[in-house]
Amino acid sequence: MKKQNNTNSLRFIFTSCGISWHRSLRRTLVLSVFMAAMYLQVSAQTETFDIVTYTPPKNWSKDAKPGVMNYMNVNKSNGGFCIIAMFASKLSTGDAQKDFTREWNELVATPYKVEESPKPETQSTADGWEIVAAAAPAKVDGADVYIFLTVISGHGKSVSIRSSLNDEAYLPQMTTFLESIDLDKTKSPTVSSNTINNVPVKANNAGSAKFGLMTYSPPVGWSHQQFQDGVVFKPLDLPQGEHLAMQIMQPLNFGGSLEQALQQSFDEAAAMYNGTKMNYLGEGNYKKEQAKQSFRGWEYIRCNGGVRIGGGDYPPEYGLDLFVIKINNRFERVAVLKSRTINRSCSMSSFYADDRQPYKTAINNFLFSLQFTDGSEPLLSSGTTDGGGIMGVWQGISMQTSASSGLRYNVYSPIFLSNGQAYFGSKFYSEGLDGLDTRIPPELYHRDWGTYSFSNGRGVLKMPYADIPLRMEGNTLIITANQTDHKFYSLSPVDGARFNGTYVMSEAYGKIPVISFTADGRFTDNGAVKVLYHEYNECINPALNPGSGTYEVKDYTITFNYSDGRKIKIAFLGTEYDIKNQSPAVLRMSANEDPMVRQ
């Protein structure tokens, strides 16, 4: 049979509301392309899943799960996406139409809530396969999505391929993928029940979603897939060859302690990933933190461990983290599986995928934003530096005590917030305060965060290690730490700051870092942001490559928006900076306040 060319037999009509379905067109693209694929020679660069051999779409992310193989691509510039899912083969009912109806109800109608019953197209091949295909529009988070389902039956088995997309630009890539497919008539069916609902959700969706009694907010820029037994999130910009997935697990109804629930959850997660548990030096299978009560009122415990997944003498090593929350008489669980990589082209040090600050921030923001229908109300609201009085950011010299160096003086940048929180540490937050939920850092770095009270010129800073007296003398804040008065001065807001000129730094990595700013909010970076980011492992420094784009300053943060899509935040406290002078002789940026000198 000659290859059929019915590419134009399915059309999408774009309206002001998005893509609309043209009901008058009868034959589907999926059917015509797959019919042609039955007779194509398989490409040399192929992969095999179940009874299907195929050529993977180039530069698409791959997600293999029991019973299903997914390929995803997202166009960050316009929000377009396409997901192709191949499901493991099943025993056929012996009737291709019944096989299709079963698969349509399970893979399209139920998870996508598609009420329309499509009229499928059917055709038989010379080598004993019967193909049934149909497509229908659906709504996902209010957005228009189009679902193609092709079910191929024959030789005692059936296999389903589902494509979900919201942009017709993906049709050629979807066609190329389907044209590469070949089926093995000799293999037995996997007899997978396909009970999971592998439903893609918009990657950059706003708002919240639910799983059981849990309400969660999907991380922006991460894929979001709902299953019957959990929810999986993955960053869409994860570098090739790395793995990072966050998974909501089924709740655990258990009468034991948090520590016991953590152990059982870790064991379940290791089994879920078909992993062999590793030993954490001196800690057993994992290193756990002490159980705490979060600002949301629930108790939780977390741990870091490792598993080996795969075959061979030295299977790949993955990090496995668990986050367990006690809500009444049950435990809610979230697992994070992350690859461990040694990339000798940029560093001799190993790193985990979530060592990248944006991923780490997204994970912690997700975990501490979880809410429950039967849970308590938050004990604390997020704070700001607005409000007058001592609220704001200050800077001065204070005494620091450490076991290694004893007593020494360090630059401190205390922060007093509108919700009664206070920060008193020697390192300002590395990304500044823009977009920071101030309730989360104390969960991670407890020693440097506390609360304060202040009235009539005097107050108390309550830190985990001591109560520290405060008082105002004119415009100077006096903090009496270690029985010694230390003077601090208010840092003015730097919102909307603009710079104009080219600035250089001291030699680093064998080069002179340079950055140029223009007063209209643009920059050209040639190594300066890489140094300002202060990431010793070049493999995970997002500013490793130079670039250009726009910048903005807000809440003691300068955000570099690169034209290639990178978004890098760096602290900018504005020390010795006059917002009226766009070309100062020296600019200081980062939490270390690195100096950059104007050329």
Phi then psi for 571, rounded to 5 degrees? -65, 140
Q: Which residues have C-beta within 8 Å of that of residue 228, sequence separation ≥ 6?
A: 195, 196, 197
> Is the pLDDT score of 22 beyond 50?
no
Do the Cβ atoms of 560 and 432 come closer than 8 Å? no
Greater model confidence, 272 or 9: 272
3-state secondary structure of 359: helix
More confident residue, 361 or 15: 361
Highest mean pLDDT among 29-38, 76-85, 403-412: 76-85
What gap in Å lies between CA 178 and CA 10, rounded to an integer?
A: 15
Residue 363 amino acid letter: I
CA distance 253 to 245: 24
CA distance 294 to 439: 9
Structure tokens at 286: 């994992």
- Per-residue pLDDT, 141: 66
Gyration radius of the chain over CA positions: 28
Q: Are strands 458-463 and 466-473 parallel, antiparallel or unpaired?
A: antiparallel
Confidence of residue 347 (pLDDT cuts 50, 70, 90): low
pLDDT (tens digit per residue) in 434-469: 999 999 999 999 999 999 999 999 999 999 999 999
Nearest CA-CA partner of 442 in 333, 292, 551, 321:
292
- Amino acid 530: pLDDT: 95
Q: Buried b / exposed e across 469-481, counting CB within 10 Å, b at 16+?
A: ebeeeeeebebeb
In sequence order, the 6+-apart residues with CB closer than 8 A to the CB of 527 are: 508, 509, 511, 512, 513, 514, 546
The reported pLDDT for the residue numbered 348 is 62
Are 429 and 591 within 8 A, CB to CB?
yes
CB neighbourhood size of 418 (10 A): 17
- Ranges in the chain annotated CATH 2.60.120.1690: 7-192
* pLDDT tens figures, 295-332: 999 999 999 999 998 877 888 899 999 999 999 999 99
* Cα–Cα dist 398/411, whole Å: 6
Question: How far apart are alpha carbons 407 and 422 in whole angstroms?
Answer: 22
Q: Are 210 and 231 in contact (CB under 8 A)?
A: no
Q: What is the mean pLDDT of the chain?
A: 85
Nearest to 50, CA basis, from 149, 176, 178, 181: 181
CATH topology for 501-598 is Lipocalin (2.40.128)
pLDDT reading at 9 higher than 80 = no
Provide the token pair at 348: 């001799």
- pLDDT band of 401, cuts 50, 70, 90: low
Q: Helix crossing, 29-37 with 171-179: angle to 10°?
A: 30
> For the chain, where do the domains classified as CATH 3.40.1000.10 start and end?
209-372
- The Cβ of residue 238 has, within 10 Å, a number of other Cβ atoms equal to 18
Cα of 23 vs its chain's centroid, Å: 37
Helical H segments across 143-257, by residue range: 171-179
CATH class of 392-490: mainly beta
Task: Report which of 442, 443, 396 is spatially closest to residue 423, judged by C-alpha positions.
Answer: 442
> Who contacts 414 (Cβ-Cβ below 8 Å, separation ≥6)?
393, 394, 395, 396, 422, 423, 424, 461, 477, 479, 488
Q: What kind of fold does domain 209-372 have according to CATH?
A: Protein Transport Mog1p; Chain A (3.40.1000)
8 A C-beta contact, residue 400 and residue 378: no
> What percentage of the chain has pLDDT greater than the value 70?
87
- Token pair belonging to 507: 């030699």
* Portions of the chain given CATH number 2.40.128.370: 501-598
CB 202 within 8 A of CB 233: no
Span 249-275, mean pLDDT? 93
Burial of 531 (0-12, 13-18, 19+ CB in 10 A): buried
Question: Is 70 exceeded by the pLDDT of residue 157?
Answer: yes
Q: Residue 40 pLDDT > 80, yes or no?
A: no
**Model confidence band, residue 119 (pLDDT cutoffs 50, 70, 90):** confident
pLDDT of 518 above 80? yes
Query: Is pLDDT at 274 greater than 90 in this prediction?
Result: no
Hey, is 73 helix, strand or coil?
strand
* pLDDT for the residue 489: 94
Q: Does the pLDDT value for residue 187 go beyond 90?
A: no
SS (H, E, C) 420-449: CEEECCCCCCCCCCCCCCCCCHHHHCHHHE
CB 229 within 8 Å of CB 248: no
How large is the average pLDDT for residues 426-438? 92
Strands 121-124 and 130-140: antiparallel
pLDDT value at position 423? Answer: 96
In 342-462, which ranges are continuous DSSP H helix? 357-367, 441-444
> Looking at the predicted structure, is the pLDDT value of residue 565 above 70?
yes
Q: Whose CA is closest to 203, among 320, 362, 341, 323?
A: 362
Does the model's pTM come out above 0.75? no
Task: Give the distance from CA 150 to its chain's centroid.
Answer: 31
**Which of left, alpha, beta for 228 (phi over 0: left; psi -120 to 50: alpha)?**
alpha
CA within 13 Å, CB half, 173: 20
Angle made by CA atoms 324, 330, 333, in degrees to the nearest 5: 25
> What torsion, rounded to 10 degrees, do the Cα atoms 126, 130, 135, 141 define?
-130
Region 7-192: CATH code? 2.60.120.1690
